[in-house]
Structure formats: C-alpha cells, structure tokens
Chains A and B, each alone.
Chain A
Amino acid sequence: MFATNTQDTAQQILQVVGLPTAEVPAKLAALAAVDARYLKDLKINITNALEAATLPKKDAYLLGLAVAVNEKLPTLQAGFEQLALAAGATDKEVAEVVSCTSLMNANNVFYRFRHFVGKEFYTSAPAGIRMSIMANPVVGKEFFELVSLVISALNGCEMCVTSHEDALLKHGTEQQRILDGVRLGAVVRSLGVLL
C-alpha cells in the first residue's frame, strides 16, 4: 500500500524547468532506473528554489535562464526562456540576461586573475573590457546585480562575488533574496550536470 513509487520524478523535474518530458536525458534516466532517492531531493531542491518567497516567478526564471546560458545548455535555456516570457518577461529582458551572463564570463576570468595575482600593475591598469550594458539595464539595476552575483558565484570569482554582494546590499536588497538567488543558481547547476 505504501510502497515507494518514483518513476515519474525525473519527468516532473523536467516539467518544472520547462523541458519536454517525452525524452528523459540519459543521465537522469539512469538515475531514475536505480536510485530514485536523489531524484526526489533534486526535485524538491529545484521546486523550492524556484518558489522562494523573495524571488517573483519572473526573477526566478530569468535567473534559471542565466544559469542555463552560463552552463551552455541550450534546451534548458529555451525552457527557462519560455517560462520567463510566460511570467511576464519581455524579449529585451531575456536578451539582457543572456548578455549579462556573457559579460560576466569575461569579467569573472579577468578579475579573478587580478585577485589571484594581486600585483599593482594588473590592478591599476585599465580593464579594457567594454561594459556599457551595465549602465541602464532594462531589468533594473538591482536585478542586473543579482544576475551578476549568481553567475560570479557559479564561476568562482571571489572579487566579483564580494563586490556584487556588496552592491546589492547598497541597493537595499534583503540578504534572504541574495541567498535565495545563489541557491537557485547552485541548484539549477546541479540539475544541469545531469542533462
């Protein structure tokens, strides 16, 4: 009567992030075949991250989109894009989140180099990287910062993480929202490695 029944969990995960459920990716399918326990954790992690009280649906899906772009997962990107548009995001906002993710991939490498080496020449010479999209973002400065922070956390640049976190606090962002954003990034990436 109370036996565990979990064969649908993999499909439910795909559904939550806007992916087609007809074909379950090989790694997910392999887990579903033998080890349902982790899949349940994963599903709960994903749904809880996307439903965090501090992240309106649109924000959550746009952050998911940024992670998908960063992790080079085109199907997941398409899934989150559809979800974000359905939650009220505009094409311009979607494009901006994609752009921001791309820019952060330059900055994360560059500034990480600076703080790794810590020599005056590298720190004082101009960066020489154009960042004009940071000036007047259509998603708003605060959310642009949040995307920047989440991507920096994924890519492991300490200087970027600390400075974007600081910038968010100066915008008046609640620490809980910052934490929820980073958790979403972490958890979506944990799904990404199985796609």
Chain B
Amino acid sequence: MKNAVLSVGAQFPEFAKKAVVSIEKGKEFYDISSEEIKASGKWMVMFWWPKDFTFVCPTEIAEFNKHYQDFADRDAILIGASTDTEFVHLAWRKDHDDLRGLQFPMLADTSKSLADELGILEENEKIAYRATFVVDPQGIVRWTSVYDLSVGRNVKEVIRVMDALQTDELCPCNWQKGEATINA
C-alpha cells in the first residue's frame, strides 16, 4: 500500500470536529474548526495517537501536557487527536490519573476524514499513526513527523523545531553585504 502523508509546504486541510476540553459537567465538549484556529493568528501543533486506553499513549500525552506552557509561549495552539469518539476521549480522560488535568483539547476524528486527508491512517485497523504536524499561522504545514504505532515521541524535539521555525534573526547585525534589506 502507498500512503502519502501531508508534508512540508502543503495547506493543512480544513476541518470542524468535536473535541473534549474539560471533565467538568456541561463543559466537556467544544467544536473546533480550522477556521477558528486561523482566525486566532497562531501556530498549531497537532499530534495524533492510535487509540485511547492503550499504554504508550498516556505517557506521551502527559508529556505534551507538561510542555503545554512552552507551546503557549511560542504562540502555538496544541491539539491532541485520535480517531476515537469524543465520548471515548472523555471516558479515558476521566479514567486516567495523568489525563484528568489536560490543558489542551482532545480532538475526535470519529469519521477518520481528517486522518485520511493527512495520510496517516494505518492500513489494517484504520487508526492514526503517531503523527505530529506543525502548522504556521497561514495554515501551511511546516513540519511533519510520523512514527510507527509503538514508537513514542520526544516532545522537546517538537519545541526545538518550533524555535528553529520561529527564530528569525531580524537583527541588522546579522545582515550580510549583498543581501536584500531585512523584512520583519
């Protein structure tokens, strides 16, 4: 089988999905759309995992949560996603000690349409690979990483990538003869 993962330079697909944002009664769900994210003018970091209620996932998700503030400092909206439904997300979040305090939305790609458009669906089970996308404020994918189902991610690497993408040396000290003037 051939899969084409959406990669650097591509426009991130439009989407509108249910997400779990809290375990407080009445405030559990939120409709997230690509439109709202674009309107915020921020970056987006979307990371996927294969299935709720499995082992590697909570460790990894808790690690992303630990760095929630680092993403916020870099003007990035952090979103976790899988092909489970919002009700499964909520149940898992309530069930697991490490997940109750999550600060980012858990997106439910129940129809698998977004995972499919991103090209990250595993052939047999139709679940998402451990993919991570960094999307700039213009909605363009600037970094993609895809790990196989059993391989955990290094969140610090994602932050390093964000820094590298965002840290332009705007200082004229770095200007070299012959270059065009600096565009801030």
Partners in one complex: yes
> Which residues of A are interface residues toward B (Cβ below 8 A)?
1-5, 9, 12, 40, 43-44, 48
Contact with A along B24-40 (1 / 0, CB 8 A): 00000010100011001
Q: How far is the CB of A8 from chain B (nearest CB, A)?
A: 8
Inter-chain contacts of B40 with A (CB < 8 A): 2-3
> Which residues of B are interface residues toward A (Cβ below 8 A)?
21, 30, 32, 36-37, 40, 42, 69, 72-75, 77, 163
List 20 other contacts, CB 8 Å, given A1-B32, A44-B163. Answer: A1-B21, A1-B30, A1-B36, A2-B36, A2-B37, A2-B40, A2-B42, A2-B77, A3-B40, A4-B75, A5-B72, A9-B73, A12-B69, A40-B73, A40-B74, A40-B75, A43-B73, A44-B73, A44-B74, A48-B163
Inter-chain contacts of B77 with A (CB < 8 A): 2
Inter-chain contacts of A12 with B (CB < 8 A): 69
Q: How far is the CB of B114 from chain A (nearest CB, A)?
A: 18
Q: How far is the CB of A7 from chain B (nearest CB, A)?
A: 12
| Among all A-B residue pairs, the 7 with the closest Cβ atoms | A2-B40, A40-B73, A2-B77, A44-B73, A43-B73, A2-B42, A1-B30
Inter-chain contacts of A44 with B (CB < 8 A): 73-74, 163
A20 to B37, CA, bound (A): 36
Which residue from chain A places its CB closest to the CB of B166 in the assembled complex? A44
Q: How far is the CB of B50 from chain A (nearest CB, A)?
A: 26
Which residue from chain A places its CB closest to the CB of B21 in the assembled complex? A1
Which residue from chain A places its CB closest to the CB of B40 in the assembled complex? A2
A6 to B30, CA, bound (A): 23
Q: How far is the CB of B68 from chain A (nearest CB, A)?
A: 11
Which residue from chain B places its CB closest to the CB of A9 in the assembled complex? B73
A1 to B40, CA, bound (A): 9
Instruction: Please list 22 pairs of residues, one from A and one from B, whose beta carbons are closer than 8 Å in the complex, sorted by A's number.
Output: A1-B21, A1-B30, A1-B32, A1-B36, A2-B36, A2-B37, A2-B40, A2-B42, A2-B77, A3-B40, A4-B75, A5-B72, A9-B73, A12-B69, A40-B73, A40-B74, A40-B75, A43-B73, A44-B73, A44-B74, A44-B163, A48-B163
A40 to B70, CA, bound (A): 10
A12 to B72, CA, bound (A): 13
Q: How far is the CB of B100 from chain A (nearest CB, A)?
A: 20
A4 to B72, CA, bound (A): 8
Inter-chain contacts of B36 with A (CB < 8 A): 1-2
Which residue from chain B places its CB closest to the CB of A2 in the assembled complex? B40
Inter-chain contacts of B30 with A (CB < 8 A): 1
Which residue from chain A places its CB closest to the CB of B76 in the assembled complex? A2
A53 to B128, CA, bound (A): 33
Inter-chain contacts of A4 with B (CB < 8 A): 75
Max chain A C-beta neighbours (<10 A), residue from B32, B42, B69, B72? B72
A1 to B29, CA, bound (A): 12
Inter-chain contacts of A48 with B (CB < 8 A): 163
Which residue from chain A places its CB closest to the CB of B19 in the assembled complex? A1
A76 to B140, CA, bound (A): 41
Inter-chain contacts of A40 with B (CB < 8 A): 73-75
Which residue from chain B places its CB closest to the CB of A44 in the assembled complex? B73
A12 to B73, CA, bound (A): 11
Q: How far is the CB of A115 from chain B (nearest CB, A)?
A: 21
A9 to B32, CA, bound (A): 26
Q: How far is the CB of A20 from chain B (nearest CB, A)?
A: 20
Q: How far is the CB of B175 from chain A (nearest CB, A)?
A: 18
